[in-house]
């Protein structure tokens, strides 16, 4: 399924390259790729009808904005009535119905299709519906609302994080041509003349894995992770943190701290070749997926989505900046948000390498 989605993405890049501007908006391409990939795993290819990808993208974007914006009603809860004047209530209700209608349609379509999908091809909604039946036999019930909440969690947490990471990695590759060349060499040596990179080839590419880690170090998509609340009074470096305080962990700053990293501002994937540092949350100098009980459950799908498409994009195309732009001119500014995107869309020129 992922290989098909990658093939579709390569096609989209060829179409964009043939347009009058010849520019590929990689921010857009990666977003569509991730939505298609996660949506197919979640509710199956057959349900990805006309306009579905755009519909999900709009909901994810609006969700992100609502979470990040400053709302006076949050600071002054007793002025809750404000939300009727600021339009917050109307926007929140609209987006709630957007998700709710989408999930109702999908769940109903899966229920109607029962018996159609063979076991090997079942998607995540099929699995949840099967669990719902099993659970109800034991008296515990997975409700339709539970299923919708799980689906919303996947789309809310999995899409933006994954596509911004791809954008940052491609931007760093363009700014660091020596890294790009080394990656291309690794890919070509591994696939030995095959026309495309398959899932099975990926496990042999250790430099690609190091690029994944180095992008996560410099550009953790969720730089403050997800907020936590202290359960008891704690003292850290003479600061007393009372119980029930909202705590943010600044992974972004820790992963650029000169105390732990040599030349932390530089993109050097090699630093991950010399050690066994991983992203499983066990080392508190590198934890881009968080850690502990609430560590990201999407680590492996995030990793697979990243490596397969990046390796194929580098194999199939030669990439360069448009209009004689120099590497140092590439805008690496971050846009504010819970998930940190590039401020300007990443526009590149792609030429077929075959
Ligand atoms: C490279 C891509 C991704 C990155 C960098 C990332 C990062 C994170 C981080 C930092 C957290 C907070 C963990 C903590 O506070 O300890 C998190 C939570 C979460 N992620 Fe991811 N994530 C990615 C992809 C995904 C994908 C693909 C999915 C689902 C398909 C997903 C689902 C979730 C969910 C459901 C949570 C909430 C877990 C909880 O609170 O129990 N993530 N992610």
User: Measured in angstroms, how far is the CA atom of residue 352 from the centroid of ligand 1?
Assistant: 34
Q: Is 284 in the pocket of ligand 1 (CB under 6 A)?
A: no
Tokens 């690029």 -> residue: 211
CA distances from 9 to 45, 67, 148 (A): 15, 29, 28
The predicted model gives 25-51 an average pLDDT of 88
Q: Which residue has the higher pLDDT, 275 or 30?
A: 30
For the CA atoms of 60, 64, 67, 71, the dihedral, rounded to the nearest 10 degrees, stands at -110
**Mind listing the pLDDT tens digit for each residue in 145-190?**
999 999 999 999 999 999 999 999 999 999 999 999 999 999 999 9
Per-residue pLDDT tens over the stretch 54-82: 999 999 989 888 887 877 877 787 887 87
Q: What is the mean pLDDT of residues 222-233?
A: 94
Helices (H), 18-143: 26-43, 52-68, 72-75, 82-86, 88-112, 124-137
Ligand 1 and 247: CB distance under 6 A? no
> Atom 9 in ligand 1: which residue has the minimum CA distance?
289
* Ligand 1 atom at minimum distance from 154 CA: 29
Instruction: Output the residue whose Cα is nearest ligand 1's atom 39.
Output: 294
Torsion-angle region of 22 (φ positive above 0: left; ψ -120 to 50: alpha; else: beta): left
Residues 112-116: what's their mean pLDDT? Answer: 70
* pLDDT higher than threshold 70 for residue 230: yes
pLDDT of residue 139: 72
Question: Which pLDDT belongs to residue 112?
Answer: 87
User: For position 172, what pLDDT does the model report?
Assistant: 98
Report percent pLDDT > 90 for the chain: 72
Cα 245 to middle of ligand 1, angstroms = 22
Residue 296 known to bind ligand:
yes
Does residue 301 line the site of ligand 1, with CB under 6 A?
Answer: yes
User: Helix, strand, coil % (nearest 5) of the chain?
Assistant: 60, 5, 35
ipTM value of the model? Answer: 0.99
* Rounded alpha-carbon distances, angstroms, from residue 104 to 99, 110, 125: 9, 10, 11
How much is the mean pLDDT over the chain?
91
126 CA distance to ligand 1 centroid (A)?
22
Task: Tell me how far apart the alpha carbons of residues 180 and 313 are, in angstroms, rounded to a whole number.
Answer: 11
Name the residue of 221, 289, 304 to mutate for ligand 1: max ligand atoms within 8 A of Cβ. 289
Cβ of 171: how many Cβ atoms within 10 Å?
22
Cβ atoms < 10 Å from Cβ of 212: 22
CB of 199 sitting under 6 A from ligand 1: no
pLDDT tens sequence across 76-99: 878 878 777 788 888 989 999 999
pLDDT (tens digit, 9 = 90+) per residue, 179-208?
999 999 999 999 999 999 999 999 999 999
Write phi, then psi, for 226 (nearest 5 degrees): -115, 135
pLDDT band at 118 (very low <50, low <70, confident <90, very high): low
């Amino acid at each position: 399924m992922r290989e098909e989605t990658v093939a579709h993405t390569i096609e989209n890049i060829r179409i964009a390259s043939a347009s009058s501007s010849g520019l590929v908006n990689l921010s857009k391409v990666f977003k569509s790729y991730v939505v298609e990939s996660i949506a197919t795993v979640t509710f199956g290819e057959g349900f990805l009808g006309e306009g579905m990808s755009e519909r999900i993208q709009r909901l994810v974007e609006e969700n992100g904005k609502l979470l990040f914006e400053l709302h006076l009603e949050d600071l002054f809860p007793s002025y809750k009535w404000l939300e009727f004047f600021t339009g917050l209530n109307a926007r929140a209700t609209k987006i709630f119905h957007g998700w709710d209608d989408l999930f109702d349609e999908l769940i109903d379509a899966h229920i109607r299709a029962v018996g159609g999908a063979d076991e090997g091809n079942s998607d995540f909604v099929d699995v949840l519906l099967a669990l719902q039946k099993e659970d109800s036999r034991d008296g515990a019930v997975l409700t339709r609302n539970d299923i919708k909440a799980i689906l919303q969690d996947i789309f809310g947490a999995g899409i933006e994080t994954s596509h911004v990471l791809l954008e940052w990695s491609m931007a760093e590759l363009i700014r660091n041509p020596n890294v790009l060349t080394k990656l291309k060499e690794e890919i070509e040596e591994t696939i030995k003349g095959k026309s495309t990179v398959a899932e099975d080839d990926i496990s042999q590419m250790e430099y690609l894995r190091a690029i994944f880690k180095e992008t996560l170090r410099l550009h953790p998509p969720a730089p403050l992770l997800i907020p936590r609340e202290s359960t008891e009074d704690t003292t850290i470096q003479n600061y007393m943190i009372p119980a029930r305080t909202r705590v943010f962990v600044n992974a972004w700053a820790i992963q650029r701290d000169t105390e732990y990293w040599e030349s932390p501002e530089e993109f050097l994937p090699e630093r991950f070749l010399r050690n066994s540092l991983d992203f499983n949350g066990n080392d508190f100098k590198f934890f881009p997926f968080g850690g502990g009980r609430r560590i990201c459950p999407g680590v492996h799908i995030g990793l697979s989505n990243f490596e397969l498409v990046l390796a194929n994009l580098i194999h199939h195309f030669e990439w360069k900046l448009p209009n004689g732009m120099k590497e140092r001119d590439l805008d690496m500014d971050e846009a504010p948000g819970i998930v940190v995107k590039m401020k300007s869309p990443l526009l590149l020129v792609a030429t077929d390498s075959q």
